[in-house]
A and B are shown apart, each in its own frame.
Chain A
Amino acid sequence: MKNIILRYRFFLVMAAVTIGLSIINPLAGEKAVDMTLFSFKEMISVLPPIFILLGLLDVWVPRETMIRYMGEGSGAKGILLAIFLGSAAAGPLYGAFPMAAVFMKKGVKFTNVLIFLGAWSTTKIPMFLFELSALGARFAITRLIASMAGIFVIAHLVDKAVDKKEKTVVYKNASEMN
C-alpha cells in the first residue's frame, strides 16, 4: 500500500492541485478536468496498439536481427529505419520511451535510438500535415528540413555527451525493464 502511494505520489499531488484549482477558480478547474479527460481519452486510444507492438517486437524479433538492422555497423540502413519508425509513430513523445527501452534491450545503437526519439518528437507525418495546413507550406517544409538536420546533430552530440559507462548502465536498465 505504502509502495503504491509512493509510486503514484506525482499523480496524487497533481490531483490535489486540480482540486485546489477548482476551489480557487471553478471555471479554470472545470477546464482542467475537461482537458484531462480529453488527454486521457487520447492516451487510452493511442497507447494500446503501441504497447502490443512493443510486446510482440520484444518476444518475436531476435536480438541478432535488430542488431543487424539497427545496431553497431548498421550504417545508413539503421538510420533510415530509425527515422521511418519514429515518423510513422502515433501519439505523444512519452510513448516513445518504452519503445526505445526495447530497442536498447535488443542492441540497437544509441545514436539510432536517439534518432528514433527525435523523429518521434518532431517529424511525425500526421503532425506535419497538420502544420502544413495551419501554418503554410513554406513554414512547415522549412521546419521539417531543419528538424531532420537537428535530429542528427542532437543525436550525435548526446551520444558524445554520454560516456560509455553511463551508456552501459542505461542499456542494462532497459533490459531489466521488460
Chain B
Amino acid sequence: MQTAIFYILAGGLLSLSYINDKGKTKKSLKKAWKALENMLPQLLGIVLLVGVMLAIMNPDTISSLIGSSSGWMGTAIAAIVGAITLIPGFIAFPTAALLLQGGAGYMQIGAFVSSLMMVGVVTMPMEVKYFGKKSTIARNVLAFVYSFAVALLIGKVMGEL
C-alpha cells in the first residue's frame, strides 16, 4: 500500500521532471542508479546474512533466549538479540506477540523491539560508509542504551514494575 504510494509519487514526479527538462531527468536517473550501485555489494551481502540469520534464529530460538529468563537479565539478553539481528517488522511483531504468549514480559519485548529497530550491528559497515565511524558507533551505542530506558518505561506503564 505504502510502496504503491511511493511508486505513484516517484513516477509522477519523474514524468513532471521529464516534461520540464529531459537532460536533468536523465542526470537524476543516473544519480539514482549510482547511489543504488554504491550500496549494492553490501546490500546483497546483508540480504544473504539476514536469510541465514532467520534460518538459525527462528521464533523458537528467540523465545528460548528471551522467554526463559525475566527481569533485567532477560531484558539485557532481549536487547542484545535485538541489536544483532535484522528482522523485518512484519516478522518481528508477530514474533514479539508469540514471545508474550510464551511467557516473556513486556519489558523484555520493549527492549527487543526497540533495539531491533534502532540498533543495527549488521548494517554498521554500511552506516560507517555514509556517516563515519564516530557517528555510527555513538548512534548505535546510544540507541542500545536507550532501549533499556524504553524497557523501563514500558515495564512501568504495563504494570510490571
With A122-B118, A139-B110, A162-B135 already in contact, the answer to whether A49 and B9 are too (CB < 8 A) is: yes
Residues of A within 8 A of B (CB): 7-8, 10-11, 13-15, 17-18, 21, 28-29, 31-40, 42-43, 45-56, 58-60, 90, 92-94, 97-98, 100-102, 114, 117-118, 121-122, 124-127, 130-131, 133-135, 138-139, 142-143, 146-147, 150, 153-154, 157-158, 161-163, 166, 169-170, 173-174, 177-178
Residues of B within 8 A of A163 (CB): 134
Residue of B nearest to A91 (CB): B3
- In the bound assembly, the distance between CA atoms of A120 and B136 in angstroms comes to 15
Residues of A within 8 A of B1 (CB): 126
Flag if B130 contacts A55 (CB, 8 Å). Answer: no
- Which 10 pairs across A and B sit closest by C-beta, in order of nearness? A36-B51, A55-B32, A49-B10, A10-B45, A32-B55, A55-B28, A134-B93, A14-B48, A59-B28, A49-B6
Q: List 12 A-B contacts (CB under 8 A).
A: A11-B48, A32-B55, A34-B51, A36-B51, A39-B47, A46-B6, A51-B33, A52-B14, A147-B114, A150-B143, A153-B142, A173-B130
